[in-house]
Homo-oligomer: A and B are copies of this chain.
Amino acid sequence: MRRSDATRTAILAAARERFAADGYDRATIRAIAKDARIDPSMVMRYFGSKEGLFAAATSFDLRLPELGSLAPEEAGRVLVEHFLDLWEGNDALVALLRVGVAGAAGAERIRHTMFEQQVLPVAREVCPDPEQAAARAALAAAQMLGMALARYVLRFPPTVALAREEVVAWLAPTVQRYLTAPHPGGAL
């Protein structure tokens, strides 16, 4: 392991923390560099630009495993549990959401990471009418994104106070209904 790899990961760790805490604009390269105990110019040399640093700090591969052996009636619980595993104490995801809300470029990243990479594949697998898969996946994603927003970004006390099992118990049926229940119809 080269000596540079240590500082490289130190920069990435500091960047994730600062981006998650302050958002893209307020998280300055100078502050990140100070956290990593290096000169700001090093950040540029390692990652090219601030955008490059952000891209490197918020890139994941978080497809959920064992998709084939998924019982359709358990999709909600599996999805919510996977969602909680991902977000619990993950600064990079908080940073991604925070920045995605701020700019238009980030919105695309969030959609790709949260929606197309996670919820949509499950929806395609379990939902009855393939034509509705996108809409149903979007509903499920909105529910989980809302919980992520309240619990990990805004930190509303009542949502932070919820135990992990309680979140699963409340959200899993909702997600399950969005994915597999018959269309409610409404006033259409």
Chain A interface residues (CB < 8 Å from chain B): 22-23, 25-26, 97-98, 100-103, 107, 110-111, 115, 134-135, 137-139, 141-147, 149-151, 153-156, 158-159, 161-163, 165-166, 168-170, 173-174, 177-178, 184-188
Contact = CB atoms under 8 A, between A and B. Distances in A.
Given A101-B102, A107-B153, A142-B151, 7 more contacts: A98-B102, A101-B153, A111-B156, A142-B143, A142-B150, A143-B174, A170-B184
Q: How many copies does the complex hold?
A: 2
Contacts of A155: 107
A154 B102 contact: no
Contacts of A151: 142
Nearest to A25: B25
19 contacts: A22-B103, A23-B25, A25-B26, A98-B102, A101-B101, A101-B149, A111-B154, A134-B158, A135-B158, A138-B162, A139-B170, A142-B146, A142-B156, A142-B159, A143-B146, A146-B149, A165-B186, A170-B184, A174-B177
Nearest to A169: B186
Contacts of A137: 158
A188 B145 CA distance: 24
A57 to B, nearest CB: 17
Given A101-B98, A149-B142, A184 B178 contact: no
A138 B166 contact: no
A30 B166 CA distance: 47
Contacts of A170: 139, 178, 184
Contacts of A169: 184-188
